[in-house]
Amino acid sequence: MEDYGGSDDEYCYYDDDQEEPMDGIENEDSDVLGSARKDSTTKVITKESLFDAQREDLRRVMELLSLREHHARTLLIYYRWDVEKLLSVLVEKGKAYLYSNAGVMVDDNLSSNIRRCSSSSVSCEICMEDVPADNATRMDCGHCFCNDCWTGHFIVKINEGQSRRIRCMAHKCHAICDEAVVRNLVSKRHPDLAEKFERFLLESYIEDNKMVKWCPSAPHCGNAIRVEEDEVCEVQCSCGLQFCFSCLSSTHSPCSCLMWELWIKKCRDESETVNWITVHTKPCPKCHKPVEKNGGCNLVACVCGQAFCWLCGGATGRDHTWSSIAGHSCGRYKEDAEKKTERAKRDLYRYMHYHNRYKAHTDSFKLENNLEETIKGRVTISEQRESALRDFSWVINGLNRLFRSRRVLSYSYPFAFYMFGDELFDEEMTKEEREIKQNLFEDQQQQLEANVEKLSKVLEEPFDQYSDDKIMEMRMQVINLSVVTDNLCNKMYECIENDLLGSLQRGTHNIAPYKSKGIEKASELSTCWSNKASDASNYLPSDDISSGGTTILKRDRPSGSGSSSNDNINECSLSKRTRKEVSGFFDLNMPAEVIDRN
């Protein structure tokens, strides 16, 4: 949570500023947007809210099939928390199939409280001893073994990392053991293992669920992110890390995940250097070092003293004329070698073209991050001046627009490298088609590039030294350019989605959609601790078992339930702050239509 510091606090500061009566319009708008933000479907799941996050799914399944929690959980784990999938199996194949596949045995005659075996003593098949009946447990599937053996079995399975699906001990029985029994028996002998079991069960919601993924931050922030509809998107965790939800690498839209993976590999590889060496040098026949020809005739001398023919690479004597070397002839034309060299040369230049531009924009992006500090300083100075102008949110809006479009621009180069290269889509387009599409795309790219550079230039102006009139002029420019670049980004994505990637026949490349407002910031699940504690105790199986259930929650919060009221305050103030931040962030990302009204 402390990760909220840094620049985000700054946003808060500006947000506070805007709450002054000076600019009623923007404030109003920020409220509207703020409430829209609450509907944001991407959620941060913290250690604390993990239980709440899965409660909804559990409840749905429990209510629909009138199941107890552990059965619902077993079903959901088996169907990877895909409630829709689970329901479609139910409709198509029926309840019995659904249950038996997942290892759920619902025996209506078996009350959950009467788990003891019927007769007074039981012969346990595992340890081959007779044990008193109250020392044995019957599972939902009807198999009854002694508690010691059950415990031994559970411990082995938990240690093997199979907590999520511990099967009954009977041979060929696929029933999954009741988690309450596991919890209860294991905690008697190994409380720490029982906790581990609990955590595994809870984390199934992240590990086995394609809509939820751990935040890839390193060191790990402990959070997971849940998306609602589309897995192809880019998100920002509450720790500040922005990443591609599909491939968990850094954000890269409009490159597809595959393009990005290839690009990163290519940039890291030395293969291009090797390419250059093959094109521009020949190995010395004596010392085998690569030699570059820096002019002159075809007799080349290596630093080691060996002379050789540049055309064929063979060692020669030093006696030569401009056109021939004494005692050496290699006039035969080798077409193959020539073609290969030509091709390597072309590929290298092509790569260099795209890489240079990609790199230039990435570098600008870094430099512009420094600009952020400078601009904030200027805003502070300007605000303190005796002037009618008090609102400088437009500078920050412009700066954010610049960051966003700069990012799009820089990733548009590796995109183009693969889109119009022959590595991925060689068979998708004819040469002519490719040329037309490339022109279309490059036109848009060039326009975007020009406007981004203009915006960058305007934003660098030292407005804190300007007169009011000049500031108003700059304001207009920034707002106009922001609108233009935003539109251009939109158009470029439209072009990519409709004309380029949309028309592919083979294979699909999905890209995270362009968002005017920037990468979606995942919001915290809106729950307070006090709620959760009561809900959790309602929810976790009752009696002796609930003690096991609450330990994990206590463990997560070092202060424990004793000081929960205190926690509550913290939590609430935190979420308030988060909301404020969110609205602040939103405000700064004022979309075109709002700016239009100014």
Partner 1 sequence: MIDFARVQKELQECTRDIEASGIKVSPKSDSLARLTGTIPGPIGTPYEGGSFQIDISLPDGYPFEPPKMKFVTKVWHPNISSQSGAICLDILKDQWSPALTLKTALLSVQALLSSPEPDDPQDAVVAQQYLKEYQTFVGTARYWTETFAKASSLGVEEKVQKLVEMGFPEALVRSTLDAVGGDENLALERLCS
**Residue/partner pairs of 177-181 with CB below 8 Å, 24 or more apart:** 177/139, 177/150, 178/70, 178/112, 178/139, 178/140, 179/70, 179/73, 179/74, 179/541, 180/70, 180/112, 180/541, 180/545, 181/115, 181/137, 181/139, 181/150
Least distance between partner 1 and beta carbon 65 (Å): 28
Q: How far, in Å, CA of 210 to CA of 85, rounded?
A: 12
Give the residue with the Cβ less far from partner 1, 63 or 130: 130
Least distance between partner 1 and beta carbon 130 (Å): 12
Give, as ranges, the residues between 560 and 589 that touch partner 1 (CB under 8 A). none
Structure-token match 């309450």, residue found: 180
Least distance between partner 1 and beta carbon 123 (Å): 12
**128 touches partner 1 (CB under 8 A):** yes
Structure token digits, residue 328: 């050496």
Measured at the CA of 593, the angle between CA 587 and CA 598, to 5 degrees, comes to 75
Binding mask 474-513 toward partner 1 (x if CB under 8 A, else -) reads ----------------------------------------
Catalytic residue from among 127, 297, 304, 330: 297
Give the residue with the Cβ less far from partner 1, 151 or 251: 151
Least distance between partner 1 and beta carbon 181 (Å): 16
Only one of the segments 98-106, 147-155, 286-294, 314-322 lies at the binding site for partner 1 (rule: CB under 8 A); that segment is 147-155
CB 166 within 8 A of CB 154: yes
Q: How far, in Å, CA of 573 to CA of 73, rounded?
A: 33
CB 518 within 8 A of CB 404: yes
Closest listed residue to residue 184, CA positions, set 251, 139, 125:
139
Only one of the segments 155-163, 197-205, 262-270, 282-290 lies at the binding site for partner 1 (rule: CB under 8 A); that segment is 155-163
Give the residue with the Cβ less far from partner 1, 125 or 473: 125
Structure token digits, residue 459: 């934003």
Give the residue with the Cβ less far from partner 1, 62 or 158: 158
User: Exposed/middle/buried for 87, CB within 10 Å: 0-12, 13-18, 19+?
Assistant: middle
**428 touches partner 1 (CB under 8 A):** no
Structure-token match 């250690």, residue found: 47
Give the residue with the Cβ less far from partner 1, 145 or 392: 145
Binding mask 254-293 toward partner 1 (x if CB under 8 A, else -) reads ----------------------------------------
Least distance between partner 1 and beta carbon 148 (Å): 9
User: How many of the chain's residues bind partner 1 (CB under 8 A)?
Assistant: 16
Only one of the segments 164-172, 232-240, 444-452, 466-474 lies at the binding site for partner 1 (rule: CB under 8 A); that segment is 164-172
CB 551 within 8 A of CB 520: no
CB 226 within 8 A of CB 212: yes
Binding mask 86-125 toward partner 1 (x if CB under 8 A, else -) reads ---------------------------------------x
Give the residue with the Cβ less far from partner 1, 37 or 157: 157
Q: If residue 181 lies in a helix (H) or strand (E), which one and from where to where? A: helix 179-189
Only one of the segments 27-35, 127-135, 252-260, 481-489 lies at the binding site for partner 1 (rule: CB under 8 A); that segment is 127-135
Strand-pairing partners, residue 289, are: none
Q: Is 297 a catalytic residue?
A: yes
Helix locations, 385-467, DSSP H:
393-419, 431-459
**152 touches partner 1 (CB under 8 A):** yes
Among 127, 304, 381, 572, binds partner 1 (CB under 8 A): 127
CB 315 within 8 A of CB 305: no
**129 touches partner 1 (CB under 8 A):** yes
Give, as ranges, the residues between 168 and 207 that touch partner 1 (CB under 8 A). 169-173
In this structure, the chain runs to a length of 598
Q: How far, in Å, CA of 94 to CA of 99, rounded?
A: 9
Cis peptide before 219 (omega within 30 of 0): yes
CB 57 within 8 A of CB 76: yes
| Secondary structure (3-state) at 78 | helix
Among 70, 73, 138, 153, binds partner 1 (CB under 8 A): 153
Give the residue with the Cβ less far from partner 1, 128 or 388: 128
Catalytic residues: 297
Binding site for partner 1 (CB under 8 A): 125-129, 149, 152-153, 155-157, 169-173
